[in-house]
A = this chain, B = another copy of it.
Amino acid sequence: MIPPTPLGMPDEDGSGEIARTDLSTPAVGRLSLYYRELHRLLDSGQTSTNSRDLAAMVNVSAAVVRRDLSSIGSVGRRGVGYDVESLANHIGAVLGSGVHWKAVMIGVGYLGNALLRYRGFERLGFSLAAAFDTDPAKIHQVVGSTKILPMDQLETVLREVKPELAILTVPSEQAKEVADKIVGLGIQGILNFAPTTLRVSSAVAVINVDLASELQQLAFRIQNG
């Protein structure tokens, strides 16, 4: 197993063994789930695990786990398996969780409110530096540990704080305009909850989460199960 580089930062020596760029989106999603389960094991004091147990936790086959982990250079030892902490650190390094990512949220409606209170983000190294809304009644409230600021401070704060990520929880009609604005201010990735597909510069990473679409996919599976 390749030891994680100091501070969990991606290595920059060009070996390509830590920071992989050729992982598929589903593989990255699974790594993220292994990472979550490994941290649960760590919290419970467990020090070693194996591909079969990890597979059961994430609902994939043990072969998929072994392939995913070997693709990032982690090979379990026969009869011993994987060291939980080393593996967690290694996956964390690949996923960039050792990096301290700064995020801002635009639009603090009910969903934004719920996401600001969600502790799962901080655990993964994301800090929500600020949230923005147009509603005067919400301005200067602190939700979770994030202060809500007026939209007219967006530019100043983004130039100062330099967040990499934005969580977009505005109505669909405003999503495009807000996205263009924050991309212009240096945002590199957007997690978009507005039920519209964002089209921004290809240099910007966008993940669209459409909750109604998820429910629709579930219904499709039931209907055709």
Residues of A whose CB lies within 8 Å of any CB of B are 10, 19-21, 23, 25, 28-29, 32-33, 35-37, 40, 56-59, 94-97, 99, 101, 103, 109-111, 113-115, 117-118, 120-121, 123-124, 126, 164-165, 167, 188-191, 195-199, 203, 205, 207, 209-225
- Residues of chain B with a CB closer than 8 A to A220's CB: 23, 28, 32, 94-96
Closest 3 CB pairs of A and B: A120-B212, A110-B114, A205-B221
- Residues of chain B with a CB closer than 8 A to A199's CB: 56, 59
Is A215 a contact partner of B36 (Cβ separation < 8 A)? no
Contact with A219, one of B110, B189, B197, B211 (Cβ below 8 angstroms):
B189
In angstroms, Cα B209 to Cα A38, docked, is 18
Is B117 a contact partner of A110 (Cβ separation < 8 A)? yes
- Residues of chain B with a CB closer than 8 A to A207's CB: 214, 217-218, 221
How many of these chains are in the complex?
Answer: 2
Is A219 a contact partner of B56 (Cβ separation < 8 A)? no
Is B58 a contact partner of A165 (Cβ separation < 8 A)? no
Given contacts A36-B213, A56-B199, 19 further A-B contacts (CB under 8 A): A33-B210, A36-B195, A95-B219, A97-B219, A101-B219, A110-B118, A111-B115, A120-B195, A120-B211, A124-B216, A126-B219, A165-B215, A167-B215, A189-B221, A189-B222, A191-B214, A203-B225, A207-B214, A207-B221
Q: In the complex where A28-B217, A223-B99 touch, is A36 in contact with B212 (Cβ < 8 A)?
A: yes
Closest beta carbon of chain B to A131's beta carbon, Å:
14
Is B58 a contact partner of A216 (Cβ separation < 8 A)? no
Best-buried of A29, A121, A210, A220 by chain B (most CB within 10 Å):
A220
Closest beta carbon of chain B to A102's beta carbon, Å:
11
Contact with A59, one of B37, B197, B214 (Cβ below 8 angstroms):
B197
- Residues of chain B with a CB closer than 8 A to A10's CB: 223
In angstroms, Cα B115 to Cα A123, docked, is 23
In angstroms, Cα B33 to Cα A199, docked, is 14
In angstroms, Cα B96 to Cα A41, docked, is 39
